Chains A and B, each alone.
Chain A
Amino acid sequence: MRFRTLKQLARLCEDEGKPISQLMLDEQARESGRTADQEFAKMASYYDIMKEAVRKGLTEPTRSRSGLTGFDAQRMSAYAAGSEPLLGEASALSLAYALAVSEVNASMGRIVATPTAGSCGIIPGSFVSVQERFGWRDEHMVAGLFCAGAIGYVIANNSFVSGAEGGCQAEVGSAIGMAAGALVELRGGTPQQAVHAVGLALKNTLGLICDPVGGLVEIPCIVRNGFGSVTALAAADMALAGVRSVIPSDEVIQVMLEVGGSMPEKHRETAKGGLAQTPTGRRIMKDLYGKDGAARGTSGTAASGTTQSETYGAAEAGTARTARSGTSEAEQAETAKAAQLETLGATQPETPRSARTASSGADQRESSDPAH
């Protein structure tokens, strides 16, 4: 790639009279040795997956594997259609679509990491909703993904895009910046305006910690994707209106690096701080992993249930499961999850966790063999 900073990227675009998307596509083809058509087709297949994830999240059951989350996109889209959302319908739908993709992700559906799975809802949420609104063709949106990718490439190589390294600002924040810049280009803004949108957006998420409850990509990740899609629209609108990021966007990216680098480990995807360690967060973790909640807790001692092995694919699993001794609350919860796992994809009524039963988890058994 011939650019390392957003300033260089905008300069190249101006010198060569290309939008960011076209410059990125040309650079990508040169880097990979494949044709621009081939690379465009690959990105187009990714956009198809994004649209399908939006559709799936709005119309099919999305209860997560843990049972903690699901169906919020459907709540939000029904509300957006039936009430008069404070946000306005367009923004409310963008939010609903972003929730949809993130819920599909949490329920082991197919998504595209943009830039990560934890932040996979923001770009599809904002892209699909504005496409419907303005009647744009898919090719326009696919070009927009190259623009978003160029921005993400600069952020990732100068700062970071993983929560474990830099907190949620690095995942959700980067995705918002990528979406915002791309939305500017999609609406006809200049490369300079797109770059300003990135800085405006990133400033709004600086310092955001990664504190997933139970270590799972669910709470608060899913709603942060919803908020993120709306923030991306807002940042793009500001840039299109002529608002500038007084601190240049490349310098804001450096701030993200500085802030993420000084973020304590407990706020970088370890579930050892933040929302994950609230009384409710700890209770959820206890329900998921065992009676001490020590699986990812702070004590460092192993919960009794966590060193047991599980066997999959065994023909005699049903009998073995009944033979085990000392069934704990945690094991019961785990079996309930196994049963739920098998019914994912089938129409599933929304029942509270305690109401689910373990009737068909026959392909899993647990033994107390501490093999490792």
Chain B
Amino acid sequence: MRFKDVFSIIGPAMVGPSSSHTAGAVRLGRIARSLLDAEPQWAEIGLFGSFADTYRGHGTDLALIGGLLGYDPDDARLVRSAEEARQAGLQVTIAPSHGLAAHPNTAEIRLGAADSVITVRGASIGGGNVEIERVNEFDVRFTGSYPTLLVFHADRKGMIAEITGLLSGSGINIGSMDVDRAGRNGNALTVIESDLVVPASLLSSIAALPDVQTVRMIDIMEGMR
């Protein structure tokens, strides 16, 4: 079933005008913020397809900025998020592009703080739902609808078993999983969607594994439950 429950039909609560162009855009911004895991200072956002064509009228720009500031899709501040960004010291450049993208509502967000930068590419696929297609140089698939763990690590034997072993030891069920590597023995990214938020202590344990570089937790639905 594509739609799982009553709140995928009645809902989400959101600021208009479009679930795909506004609510979905907020979530894309939220995911980028979670991946940076620092107060963002600048962002460069490329828009593709219908996003590029109609972002002004749909408030897609304000929605993306609101997401970068950590807002939920129903946050009344969305309509003035450009002003809020200025006060928060966040400078955002939005560039519509006529390049090709797999999905008509696609955004590529390059987000930076003092000493970190992350690039996220994702699509708003309807009803406020999103799908992330790329994080930095890695092709991955996840939706942000579940608590999502991202582990950046070196590509080596046993790495995934060690990560999933720690999760299973803490009683965390894996709903879906995606792995991509830049090349053999190069850098890799493992994305795990689970039913529970991974607690900070467990994140530290995963981060302490040999050859793990960075660990990030995305939980953008916390306000939705």
Contacts and interface: CB of A to CB of B under 8 A. Distances in A.
Interface string B86-129: 10111111111111000010001000000000000000001110
Nearest to B96: A306
A interface SS class: mixed
Contact of A334 (B14, B56, B95): B56
A312 B17 contact: no
Contacts of B127: 113, 115-116, 161-162
Given A110-B74, A218-B17, A309 B53 contact: no
B11 interface: yes
A194 interface: no
Interface in A35-83: 39, 42-43, 45-46, 49, 64-66
Contact of B97 (A28, A115, A218, A307): A307
B interface SS class: mixed
Given A153-B3, A288-B56, A295-B54, A112 B11 contact: yes
Interface stretch (A141-149, A321-329, A349-357): A141-149
B58 A345 contact: no
A109 B99 contact: no
Interface residues of A, number: 81
Interface residues of B, number: 61
Interface string B1-19: 1111111111111111111
Interface in B36-90: 44, 46, 50, 52-54, 56-59, 61-62, 65, 74, 76, 78-80, 82-83, 85-86, 88-90
B23 interface: yes
A225 B105 CA distance: 24
A114 B8 CA distance: 9
B62 A117 contact: no
A65 B4 CA distance: 33
A89 interface: no
A343 B72 CA distance: 22
Contacts of B12: 112-113
7 contacts: A114-B10, A116-B19, A146-B6, A148-B9, A165-B126, A309-B95, A345-B79
Interface of A: 1, 4, 24, 27-28, 31-32, 39, 42-43, 45-46, 49, 64-66, 104-118, 120, 123, 145-146, 148-150, 152-153, 156-157, 161-162, 164-165, 178, 214-218, 270-271, 288-289, 295-296, 302, 306-315, 334, 337, 341-342, 344-345, 363-364, 369-372
